[in-house]
């Protein structure tokens, strides 16, 4: 077998063309890692959102809270459904909620921005048990007070003691809450009645969240509500609802594969061109190797290894460059509504491994045809 050091020295001598060919692989690997880190980040947030024992109920035909409207009378019927747990005070474990995407004037940036606001009743604390006050306190009933999700507070640089303009009034920020990285951290929470009065949405809600004893009871409650044609509602467990909202990230995944494929075509042609040029300059070297007793397959394997080494250089650089986005936070739309979430890019081992395998496959594909051309070189070429 021809020593790999031979290929290494040739790549070093031709370092300009080596780097040029490797840059194609670097771009493909970087794009692959960044786009899949985006998808992984969104899916991780949605996977951690909602509790399996909770059932979210929307109006029939609505696939998103913001498109749903449930009247007060229907909400009271839902609370009495079999399978709904009871709080310590004996009341149904039910949270009537009003979710709005509010346009507000940002006095710092001097621009309009959209902020997500959720009006909740006191029962919400028992239903959404993952909510924890990280700073300050909970808002009081019948007051214009709000608490901010951790992501909202971080991205908008808001804190307790400041005020938030919602509608025509200023609301006091009294706390910051965490929800284990769930989508709720991208929202502002306040008193249900005050929010309904501010935006003229009294006696109607966008969703009703029902608490049950366990995931099995929640699944049974979902079946019961969906089978009740007179109610005309759509019921899902909370995790299922947020997973459905995250399906748009699959479009990004498919787009990543498509973009990477077309970029890969360019990288394959790049390495093939580089290898053909290298072989053209080393015809006599190849002929000498034949005289020294190396077989055609050994020479083919040697040049194929050289192409793979170029892919390795590109994959290494692309991995380092792609990994720099790990932990970056960003807002993105969730589903097809105006709902958005804050998430962090997540680069994990599986993403990097698939990027490397993709790069190696491109290297082999791009180097195979040039390497096969070396098999036609005969020993007599050394005499010319």
Does residue 46 surpass a pLDDT of 90?
Answer: no
- What integer pLDDT is reported at residue 353 of this predicted model? 94
How is residue 138 annotated by DSSP?
A: P
For residue 249, the number of C-alpha atoms closer than 13 Å in the C-beta half-sphere is 24
Q: Which residue has the tokens 């006050």?
A: 133
Q: Please, which pLDDT band fits residue 8 given cuts at 50, 70 and 90?
A: confident
- Terminal Cα-to-Cα distance of the chain (whole angstroms): 25
User: Does the pLDDT value for residue 120 go beyond 70?
Assistant: yes
Ordered by start, the domain boundaries in the chain are: 4-47+247-383, 54-211
Length of the chain, in residues? 384
Beta strand 94-106 pairing with 111-120: antiparallel
Task: Report the pLDDT value the prediction gives residue 382, as an integer from 0 to 100.
Answer: 47
Output phi, psi for 163, to 5 deg. -120, 155
Measured distance CA(114)–CA(105) in Å, rounded: 9
State residue 156's pLDDT score. Answer: 86
The structure tokens listed for 357 are 């395998």
pLDDT one-digit tens code per residue, 244-280? 877 766 676 777 778 878 888 887 888 888 778 777 7
Weakest mean pLDDT among 86-100, 189-203, 278-292, 339-353: 278-292
Q: Is it the case that residue 19 has pLDDT exceeding 80?
A: yes
The string of pLDDT tens digits covering residues 219-238 is: 999 999 999 999 999 999 99
Q: Model confidence at 1, in pLDDT bands (50, 70, 90)?
A: confident
CA-CA distance, 121 to 140, in Å (whole number)? 10
* Stretch 329-343: mean pLDDT: 72
Q: What is the mean pLDDT of residues 194-216?
A: 93
- According to the model, what pLDDT value does residue 381 have? 53
Between CA 314 and CA 363 the distance in angstroms is 10
Does residue 289 surpass a pLDDT of 60?
Answer: yes
Q: What's the confidence (pLDDT) of residue 298? A: 84
Query: What pLDDT sits at residue 285?
Result: 74
């Amino acid at each position: 077998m021809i020593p790999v050091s031979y290929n290494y020295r040739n790549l070093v001598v031709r370092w300009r063309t080596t780097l040029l060919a490797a840059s194609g692989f670097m771009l493909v690997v970087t794009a692959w890692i960044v786009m899949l880190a985006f998808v992984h980040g969104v899916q991780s947030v949605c996977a951690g959102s909602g509790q399996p024992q909770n059932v979210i109920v929307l109006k029939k035909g609505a696939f998103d809270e913001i498109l749903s409207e449930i009247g007060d009378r229907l909400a009271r019927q839902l609370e009495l459904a079999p399978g709904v747990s009871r709080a310590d005070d004996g009341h149904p474990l039910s949270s009537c909620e009003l979710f709005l995407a509010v346009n507000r004037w940002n006095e710092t940036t001097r621009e309009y921005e959209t902020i997500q606001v959720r009006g909740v009743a006191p029962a919400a604390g028992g239903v959404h048990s993952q909510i924890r006050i990280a700073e300050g306190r909970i808002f009081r009933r019948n007051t214009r007070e709000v608490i901010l999700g951790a992501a909202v507070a971080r991205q908008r640089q808001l804190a307790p003691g400041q005020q938030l303009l919602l509608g025509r009034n200023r609301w006091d920020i009294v706390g910051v809450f965490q929800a284990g990285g769930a989508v709720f951290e991208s929202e502002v929470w306040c008193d249900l009645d005050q929010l309904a009065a501010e935006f003229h949405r009294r006696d109607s809600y966008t969703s009703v969240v029902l608490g049950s004893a366990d995931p099995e009871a929640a699944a049974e409650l979902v079946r019961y509500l969906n089978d009740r044609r007179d109610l005309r509602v759509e019921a899902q467990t909370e995790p299922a609802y947020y997973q459905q909202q995250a399906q748009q990230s699959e479009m990004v995944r498919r787009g990543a594969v498509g973009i990477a494929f077309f970029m890969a075509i360019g990288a394959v042609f790049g390495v093939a061109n580089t290898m053909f040029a290298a072989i053209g300059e080393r015809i006599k070297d190849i002929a000498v190797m034949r005289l020294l007793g190396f077989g055609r397959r050994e020479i083919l394997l040697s040049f194929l290894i050289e192409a793979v080494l170029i892919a390795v250089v590109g994959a290494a650089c692309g991995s380092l460059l792609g990994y720099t986005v790990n932990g970056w936070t960003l807002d993105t739309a969730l589903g097809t509504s105006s709902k958005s979430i804050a998430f962090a890019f997540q680069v994990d081992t599986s993403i990097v491994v698939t990027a490397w395998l993709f790069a190696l496959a491109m290297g082999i594909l791009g180097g195979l045809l040039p390497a096969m051309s070396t098999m036609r070189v005969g020993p007599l070429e050394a005499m010319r």
